[in-house]
Amino acid sequence: MILRHAAPALLGLSLITGPAQALDLNALSPSEKEEFGAQVREYLLENPEVIIEAINILEQRNAVAEAAADQELVAANADELFNDGYSWVGGNPDGDITLVEFMDYRCGYCRRAVSEVASLLSEDGNIRLVIKEFPILGEASVLSSRFAVATKHVAGDDAYKQVHDALLEFGGEPTEISLRRISDGLGLDSDAIIAAMDSDQVTDEITRTRALAQRMQISGTPSFILGTEMLRGFLPADQMIQIADAVRAEQG
């Protein structure tokens, strides 16, 4: 019977090419459906690599769809991602592409990312860096971010970067006493910074960043946006360099 010989080929074709070439089972009689099922089972048992091939193709399609959806999110939120008017900007402020980092001071991978981001900026001198304070790991994270943002408001961008680096290296529990030690050690006005931590301005900045992260469907740290690409999680510098090159190539 033709069905006996056609079933494996039709199955393989439908798995690989998708619904457009799939067999219409409704057109088969009950006995033909039963025979087709038996042939499918026999074929898959003899050729299990077909299942792996189909799964790989499905994963590739899903990855492409997710990347396209992420690019749409970046485009829809570009102004707040790249030019919100309050986030700290470093690297090359005139760089041709921007790296945005959503980070939490209590996040171990954020701490690991420090050297990778530094290597990226060192090797590629044409990248602008934007830091987004995104405290999601409890009250200690919130306290640290409030301290960093308050420092920026009270003492400026250079002081913020010093405190930002110090907090990422800090191994203790953030308290008013330990935070004062950090700012005192940097020669900053600790009283003014501590007083500003609960200000509406600091609260508004953190709230806006959280709302942006929600729109971007970001739930973990570190999360990066490099040009048009969303990078969800920790990446070594060499991979980010490759992505930066690819982004430039797409931009022409």
Average pLDDT, the chain: 88
pLDDT of 13 reads 45
- Given pLDDT bands bounded at 50, 70 and 90, which one contains residue 62? low
Give this prediction's pTM: 0.77
Q: Judge contact between 128 and 91, C-beta under 8 A.
A: yes
**Rounded CA gap, 7 and 25, in Å?**
11
Task: List CB contacts of 155: < 8 A, sequence separation 6 or more.
Answer: 188, 189, 192, 193
Strands 127-133 and 223-226: unpaired
Beta strands in 176-247 (DSSP E): 223-226, 229-232
Beta strands in the chain (DSSP E): 88-91, 97-103, 127-133, 223-226, 229-232
**Rounded CA gap, 53 and 57, in Å?**
6
Alpha helices in 18-130 (DSSP H): 30-46, 49-76, 78-82, 108-123
- Given pLDDT bands bounded at 50, 70 and 90, which one contains residue 5? very low
Higher pLDDT, 59 or 23: 59
- Given pLDDT bands bounded at 50, 70 and 90, which one contains residue 160? very high
Under DSSP, the state recorded for 114 is H
pLDDT surpasses 70 at 80: yes
**Rounded CA gap, 91 and 98, in Å?**
9
**Rounded CA gap, 143 and 125, in Å?**
33
Structure tokens at 210: 């959280």
**Rounded CA gap, 251 and 96, in Å?**
10
Per 3-state DSSP, what percentage of the chain is helix, strand, and coil (rounded to 5)? 65, 10, 25
- Interval 191-200 mean pLDDT: 97
pLDDT of 17 reads 47
Structure tokens at 95: 């760089």
pLDDT surpasses 90 at 129: yes
- Interval 180-208 mean pLDDT: 97
pLDDT of 250 reads 86
- Number of residues assigned to the chain: 252
Domain segments of the chain as ranges: 2-70, 76-251
pLDDT tens per residue, range 89-120:
999 999 999 999 999 999 999 999 999 999 99
C-alpha dihedral (13, 19, 25, 26), degrees to nearest 10? -150
Topology of domain 76-251, CATH: Glutaredoxin (3.40.30)
